[in-house]
Structure formats: C-alpha cells, structure tokens
C-alpha cells in the first residue's frame, strides 16, 4: 500500500488514519524510523527491539553466548560491563544498547499511560524510577532458571 503525505515545516508527517488503525498506532505512541537500503521503515519500539535482539541472538549463538546471560549480566553489572565481559563487538554492543533503550522508552510510556488511565498521571521522576526498577527485577527473575 502506498500513501503520499507531505513533510511539514518541522519535518513532521501525519501517518494516514488507515495505516494507524491497521497497526494500532495512537496518539502518544513511540515509534522508530529505520533506514534500510530501500527506504525508511517506521516500527513500534517493541518491534524494533525484538528485531535488534533477534539479530544479536543469532550472532551470539554462533559464539556460544546466551542472550539471556547478556541480559542478566547487564542487569547485574550494567550494559557496558556485560558487553565487555562477554566480548561483544562494538556493533553488537550498539545493537544491544539500542534494543534496551527502546524497551526502556516503551516501559516508561506504558507506565505513564497506565497512570493517565488511573488518573494518577502526575508521577514524579522518582516514582517512575521505582516502577522501572520493579520491571527490571521482574525481567531478571523471569530469566532465572
């Protein structure tokens, strides 16, 4: 499906209604622009993170490194330390950090949306941090055998 839209003064474009509906995009959703050899693709943050992690997992599997181990170590020691410890290349580290950043952005947005639905949309930075830390603990516990 091809749909033409005009780029506005500040580089803004309006995603046509039929496309927003088809992909369940709504006001406030975060998306990422991915440059490809054939053009630009707009993806949800979760989809982009999934693709980055899948590509990284393929590379790590060939070297006998578990993506879950990388995630666990990054929660324990931080992303930079985990990447160094496991010998990730600069490109692998970049993919991992970008995927985690997308996940974090999506989590913060979900927390804020939930707060709006509950009428408690005036969360402080500290409250958001508490929620992020809780989500990290859940992720860490979910990856433990």
pLDDT at 60: 92
pLDDT under 50: residue ranges of the chain: none
pLDDT of residue 143: 67
Domain ranges within the chain, ordered by starting residue: 45-142
Query: 143 vs 67, 70, 85, 115, 129, CA distance in Å?
Result: 10, 11, 19, 27, 21
Q: What is residue 139's predicted lDDT score, i.e. its pLDDT?
A: 80
Per-residue confidence (pLDDT) for residue 145, from 0 to 100: 63
Strand partners, 98: none
Secondary structure class of 33 (helix, strand, coil)? strand
Give the chain's largest Cα–Cα span: 52
Q: What is the pTM of this model?
A: 0.69
- The answer to whether the CB of 65 falls within 8 A of the CB of 86 is yes
**What per-residue confidence (pLDDT) applies to 3?**
84
State the pLDDT at residue 144.
67
Question: Do residues 123 and 112 touch, judged by C-beta distance below 8 A?
Answer: yes
Q: How far apart are CA 61 and CA 84, in angstroms?
A: 17
């Amino acid at each position: 499906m091809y749909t033409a839209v005009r780029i506005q003064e500040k580089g803004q474009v309006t995603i046509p209604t039929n496309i927003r509906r088809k992909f369940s995009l709504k006001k406030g959703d975060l998306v990422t622009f991915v440059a490809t050899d054939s053009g630009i693709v707009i993806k949800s943050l979760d989809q982009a993170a999934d693709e980055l992690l899948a590509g990284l997992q393929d590379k790590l599997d060939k070297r006998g490194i578990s993506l879950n181990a990388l995630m666990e170590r990054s929660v324990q020691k931080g992303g930079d330390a985990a990447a160094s410890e496991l010998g990730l290349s600069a490109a692998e580290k970049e993919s991992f950090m970008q995927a985690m950043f997308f996940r974090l952005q999506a989590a913060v947005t979900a927390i804020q949306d939930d707060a709006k639905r509950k009428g408690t949309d005036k969360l402080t930075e500290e409250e958001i941090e508490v929620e992020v830390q809780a989500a990290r603990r859940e992720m860490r516990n979910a990856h433990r055998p």
